Each structure stands twice: as structure tokens, then as C-alpha cells.
Amino acid sequence: MRAAAALLIGAVLASCSTAPEPVQLSPQAQHELAALLAGKVAGPPMSCLQNYNAYDMRIVDDRTVTFRSGASAVYLMELSPGCNSLSSGHYALLARQAGGMGYCSGDIVRVFDTTNHFTVGSCGIDRIIPYRSSASRY
């Protein structure tokens, strides 16, 4: 009886892990992401992506978004599950509150349907990884 209770408690604690689950990209998303990151090197994950770098957004899939900053930098944002309509072609837009510092790890973001004007999902930002051309420095 005690062994069963210990196993049950262990299973419950293991399910509460805060580590982000790995993002599995489709072959099409892998190809698109490879094209966006060609010639660039990953830097250490960032805690926030400032507003001035958060433009030219490209949705790769429901859990992956990139932002380009000029020709030398791309910021890869990995999202938690929940933004299921982001890449569905329903004109959904990743939205954030106006006036904030930008996108930060741990923030909750919304998917907003710009056609019907309502929120269709939300998820958290797991990681933000900068990619820069190999000639640039971090």
C-alpha cells in the first residue's frame, strides 16, 4: 500500500515539472526555419525581447515565432502549448499588451483573430533565442 502511494506521489510530482517540453517542428516548418536562420549562430537565451526588436514577425508554426531585426539578427521565440490557432491561416495574430517592455520569458501571450475580433487562444513564452550572423558578436 505504501509503495503504491509513493509511486502515485512520485508520478504527481513528476507531472508538475516546469521544464518546457521540446518543440517538434514539421518538415515544412523545419525548412522555413532553416532558411530564416541560414548563416546565423545561436546566442544564449534572452529573458526579454525589447519592443524595438519585436517587428517583422514570422509565424513558423503554433509553437515557434521569429522576429527579424535587420539582415544580421533573428530572434526565435518558443511558445508553450495553447496557441493552437496561431498558424492555422485564420488571420490570428500573436498579441501583447501595449506599453510593455516587449516579450519576456514566462509572459502569457494571446492569439487574436483579427477578422472576428476575439481571442482564440493563449500560451506562454518558453524561450527567446537570438541568432546573429557569424560576423556579429553577442
Given a cut of 70, whether residue 109 has pLDDT beyond it is yes
Phi first, then psi: give them for residue 3, nearest 5 degrees: -65, -40
Lowest mean pLDDT among 7-16, 22-31, 47-56, 76-85: 7-16
pLDDT category of residue 125 using cuts at 50, 70 and 90: very high
Residue showing cell 518546457: 20
pTM: 0.75
Strand partners, 6: none
* Apex 26 CA angle, 22 and 27, nearest 5: 125
pLDDT higher for 37 or 95?
37
Most confident region among 61-65, 67-71, 128-132, 134-138 by mean pLDDT: 128-132
The per-residue pLDDT for 97 is 64
The residue extents of the domains of the chain are 46-138
The per-residue pLDDT for 131 is 96
The per-residue pLDDT for 135 is 64
Q: Enumerate helices (H) and strands (E) in the chain, giving the number of each.
A: 2, 9
How far, rounded to the nearest angstrom, does the alpha carbon of residue 120 sit from its chain's CA centroid? 17
The per-residue pLDDT for 136 is 60
Given a cut of 60, whether residue 73 has pLDDT beyond it is yes
Given a cut of 90, whether residue 82 has pLDDT beyond it is no
